[in-house]
Amino acid sequence: VVLDDAAAVAALAADAIEAVVRRRAADNTSAVLGLATGSTPLATYEELIRRAQDGRGPSYAGVETFNLDEYVGLPDGHEQAYLATIRREFTDAVGIPPERVHGPDPTEATLPDAGERYEAAIERAGGIDVQLLGIGSDGHLAFNEPGSSLASLTRIKTLTATTRRDNARFFGSPDAVPHHVLTQGLGTISRAGHLLLLATGEGKAAAVAEAVEGPVSASCPASVLQHHRHVSVLLDEAAASRL
Ligand code: GLP
């Protein structure tokens, strides 16, 4: 779906998320949202918060959320940890209780099992209804860098120099960006019921074109979406400019 601008992308993404939350509440079940960090989904979170605060949004009390990924090796309480980020940018403001907000656990002592534990937690929640996704300029999804198996599950990955450079803006310098992360795999992401990929701006145009129109290949991890039965790709004009 090619829209005029980033605000239109955010509004449509917010509609899709609210629809799931309302549908699950009508069934007396809990919506399970897959959340992404990074700059792209921020406008969607802001839109959802605005609607919730105006009284136009659904109740989020029963909602459960799972983040895509997490940095490994940040000191406790670091503000760039993705679990802290998602609480600050979204879940606290719409009233999702912190104990229902999950992310891969980067605690060093239990790191070897962190992937399996996260997969089990997602399964216990009944799987993810709708997964928000951004895309890296190198075509990565979550932190699945080029070369990631299309069937991969949650595990430790090493970031590429490109991604560490891209994310340096959150840390002040590229050297301060962790080298290691925990990330849902492409197989994990593929199990969600609905994938909602958002991309805005010229900087994402090449990655979007490769993901949507290129071959399905581990060289462009986001191309795995082509195999999913329910994907929506919401783009502004700039991100769609190479299609
Ligand atoms: C990060 C995140 C991804 C995100 C991507 C794009 O590396 N781990 O989940 O989609 O970067 O980020 P942005 O939306 O800030 O461009």
Single out the catalytic residue among 138, 166, 210, 236.
Answer: 138
Of the chain, the percentage scoring pLDDT greater than 70 comes to 100
- The pLDDT score that the predictor gives to residue 124 is 98
Mean pLDDT of 22-39: 96
H helix intervals, the chain: 6-26, 42-54, 82-86, 92-94, 111-124, 161-166, 186-190, 205-213
**Which of 8, 233, 36 shows the shortest CA–CA distance to 141?**
36
Distance CA 176, CA 205 (A): 28
DSSP string, 179-237: SEEEE--HHHHHTSSEEEEEE-SGGGHHHHHHHHHS--BTTBGGGGGGG-SSEEEEEET
Q: Where are the domains of the chain?
A: 2-236
Using alpha carbons only, what angle is made at residue 208 by residues 207 and 213, rounded to the nearest 5 degrees?
A: 105
Could you please state the CATH topology (level 3) that the domain comprising 2-236 is classified under: Rossmann fold (3.40.50)
Which atom of ligand 1 sits closest to the CA of residue 142? 9
Nearest CA, atom 5, ligand 1: 136
Residues 56-78 have pLDDT tens digits of 999 998 999 999 999 999 998 89
User: Percent helix, strand, coil in the chain (nearest 5)?
Assistant: 45, 20, 40
Which atom of ligand 1 sits closest to the CA of residue 69? 8
Residues 34-63 have pLDDT tens digits of 999 999 999 999 999 999 999 999 999 899
Residues 148-159 have pLDDT tens digits of 999 999 999 999
Mean pLDDT of 118-135: 98
Distance CA 227, CA 218 (A): 13
230 flagged as catalytic: no
Q: How far is the CA of 98 from the centre of ligand 1 (A)?
A: 22
Report the pocket of ligand 1 as residue ranges, CB < 6 Å. 36-40, 68-69, 134-136, 142-143, 163, 167
Single out the catalytic residue among 18, 145, 166, 236.
Answer: 145
What average pLDDT does the chain have?
A: 97
ipTM: 0.94
CA atoms within 13 A on the CB side of 97: 5
pTM higher than 0.80 for the full model?
Answer: yes
Q: How far is the CA of 163 from the centre of ligand 1 (A)?
A: 9
Amino acid found at 29: T
Q: How far is the CA of 156 from the centre of ligand 1 (A)?
A: 17
Matching residue, tokens 């309480």: 77
Strand order from edge to edge, sheet including 69-71 = 69-71, 180-183, 155-158
Q: How confident is residue 173, by pLDDT bands cut at 50, 70 and 90?
A: confident
User: Taking a C-beta distance cutoff of 8 angstroms, is the pair 156, 182 a contact?
Assistant: yes
Structure tokens at 108: 């060093």
